[in-house]
Chain A
Amino acid sequence: SQQGEEDPQALSIQEGENATMNCSYKTSINNLQWYRQNSGRGLVHLILIRSNEREKHSGRLRVTLDTSKKSSSLLITASRAADTASYFCATDAKIIQGAQKLVFGQGTRLTINP
């Protein structure tokens, strides 16, 4: 079963506007990550936020984490055409012997219109 679920499934905005995507998860986590996938390509890591952090910035990206609500949001400010992609959140899930694995949500398809 998937740990993270993104909302909305698809988002279309005008260039220059801000884009907000949300992720909800079910069980406690140590970390949450966001990835971007351009069409036909592999996933690329964007940002990681730890469970004891509430907000993190990286360039035009802002990620928030609310562990009490088991949710995270990714904000992309001043969007550009090049931001058109699918965005995935990934949470850690415990496996054997203390190891962790990444579990991905279904993703949000973001389209930036010129």
Chain B
Amino acid sequence: ETGVTQTPRHLVMGMTNKKSLKCEQHLGHNAMYWYKQSAKKPLELMFVYSLEERVENNSVPSRFSPECPNSSHLFLHLHTLQPEDSALYLCASSQYHDGSTGELFFGEGSRLTVL
């Protein structure tokens, strides 16, 4: 496989469920990202892992919990979500260098619907 792969591609969950989104990058990059894309809104950065260290993002609710076990894998754990969390969740990777994000390579996204 090449590039950035995300699973599942579609997810429907109730507000009391616990689920996880998975992302894997095969590009040898040292940084991975979670973005949220809602209708008619700009792409919103949720979390950054650079060199496997998480950059805090205090604006993201605690019901979203990221995990980055190594430089190739990134998870987004979801629990007690709200209907307004329904969106396309995009994972991306890049070669972070000298304080610059550089070119982002995106996965196909996980379309999440919260009932």
- Are both chains from one complex? no
- A residues bordering B, Cβ < 8 Å? none
Give the A-binding residues of B (Cβ under 8 A).
none
